Amino acid sequence: MNDPLPRVGIDDIRAAAERIRPYAHRTPILTSSTMDALTGARVFFKCENFQRVGAFKFRGACNAVYSLDDATAARGVATHSSGNHAQALALAARIRGIAACIVMPRDAPRVKVDAVRGYGARIVFAGAAPEDREKTLQEVVSETGAEFVHPSDDLRVIAGQGTASLEIFEDLPDLDIIITPVGGGGLLSGTALAARALSPSTRVIGAEPAAADDAWRSFTTGTLHKSGNPHTIADGLRTSLGPHTFPIVRACVDRIVTASEESIAAAMRLVWERMKVVIEPSAAVALAVLLDGSLEAKGKRVAIVFSGGNVDLDSLPWMKPTS
């Protein structure tokens, strides 16, 4: 199979970094002697849970919003998302002073709807099925002329997400391994592109819930698989690779490794208990594969992207369900 050459690269990531610098945080990198002891590696945690809106998603959304020329921007931006991208696009649009319209499923949690509304975005509800939300999004775009910014499969978004790894490689030379979670593949694609340009010897690993292993199947078979409606606590990783992210992941990622729901929950709890930082289940997947011993990482220098910290504190994986 001839993978098409990626149409986005390190120059786009560098340009994105300049573009978002006034608005995004340069997030800290934490270490933990406990995590080093448990994994046998020297582990560096890039804390995108401390990013604005609590997730790396702000980088890509901000880059997309500030990539628009004034005339296009004046018509606003739109997306479909009930997750971190929704808040990220809403905030980026508010900062630029343009309209944002977010298509959300009618059954989206109230707290997420309120958060997006709190950033000043207009919300249009749709059915939860992909065809419903895409039809509604198309209507919004037709009516308003808004620019669609896909949560992951968008070159501007991919370049923006790559800026997290740009910072990692600036701060940490000689990394042996870098691990990010993979859902739609925006973060993993941006990371892989940055690694190939800046640190070719670093192995790039995507970490995915075993319960939503569509990226692993796509990567392994060479054919793009779509996730159905997977059940995983890593709710940010239920989406699938797309036409832009799949070829980049195929060309530039070394391996995709999966983790069980139990491993994900245990890794998340361990981080809360020992590192005292709040990460969401999706962010714990990258650590879970390392703790599982799925990688040859003993004695290695390993970077992990803590992708986000947005959790419902009333519904944690280790809580007993109340009736």
Q: Which residue in the block uniquely carries the two structure tokens 């292993």? A: 213
Taking Cα atoms as reference points, which of 47, 43, 103 lies closest to residue 298? Answer: 43
Give 149 or 279: the residue with its C-beta nearer to a second copy: 279
Active site residue 82: yes
CB of 129 to a second copy, least distance (A): 31
CB of 104 to a second copy, least distance (A): 20
CB of 265 to a second copy, least distance (A): 11
Give 70 or 273: the residue with its C-beta nearer to a second copy: 273
CB of 54 to a second copy, least distance (A): 6
Are 76 and 97 a contacting pair, CB within 8 Å? Answer: no
Q: Which CA distances in Å does 27 have to 219, 254, 257?
A: 30, 25, 26
3-state secondary structure of 203: strand
Are 312 and 236 a contacting pair, CB within 8 Å? Answer: no
Are 12 and 244 a contacting pair, CB within 8 Å? Answer: no
Give 258 or 263: the residue with its C-beta nearer to a second copy: 263
CB of 33 to a second copy, least distance (A): 9
Taking Cα atoms as reference points, which of 137, 133, 79, 84 lies closest to residue 112? Answer: 84
Q: DSSP labels for 88-144?
A: HHHHHHHHHT--EEEEEETT--HHHHHHHHHTT-EEEEE-SSHHHHHHHHHHHHHHH
Taking Cα atoms as reference points, which of 142, 139, 185 lies closest to residue 162? Answer: 185
Q: Which two tokens stand for residue 75?
A: 């018509």
Q: Which of 32, 46, 57, 199 is catalytic?
A: 57
Give 182 or 311: the residue with its C-beta nearer to a second copy: 311
Active site residue 276: no
Give 142 or 322: the residue with its C-beta nearer to a second copy: 322
Are 107 and 129 a contacting pair, CB within 8 Å? Answer: no
CB of 278 to a second copy, least distance (A): 4
The C-alpha atoms of residue 248 and residue 190 are separated, in whole angstroms, by 9
Contact residues: a second copy, CB under 8 A: 28, 47, 49-50, 54, 269, 272-273, 276-279, 309, 313-314, 316, 318-320, 322
Q: Which of 32, 67, 81, 82 is catalytic?
A: 82
Give 291 or 316: the residue with its C-beta nearer to a second copy: 316
List residues with catalytic annotation: 57, 82
